Amino acid sequence: MNGPYVDAAITAEIKRSWRDNRPIDRRFLRHETGLAGDRLEGAISRSVLKLASEIARQLQRK
């Protein structure tokens, strides 16, 4: 389990990359979070799933 700072940094980078239509900057995330390899990829995957479920919930409310 990652701390709140790691989750916030990853979520912010995912949102920026989505907004700017570019790939997620893994080098930046490695530097910011101290995670690398499978741990970084797992944290990114969990954050993407969390954002997707949040978006789905918002769409269901409309």
- For residue 62, what pLDDT is reported? 76
Joined tokens for residue 48: 């993407």
User: Sign of dihedral through CA atoms 4, 5, 6, 11?
Assistant: positive
Band of the pLDDT at 1, cuts 50, 70, 90? low
The domain containing residue 39 runs over which residues?
4-61
Number of compact structural domains in the chain: 1
Q: Is residue 9 a contact partner of residue 29, using CB atoms and an 8 Å limit?
A: yes
Tokens 């995912």, located at residue: 14
Joined tokens for residue 45: 């995957």
Burial degree of 33 (CB within 10 A; 0-12, 13-18, 19+): buried
Q: Per-residue pLDDT tens for 15-59? A: 999 999 999 999 999 999 999 999 999 999 999 999 999 999 999
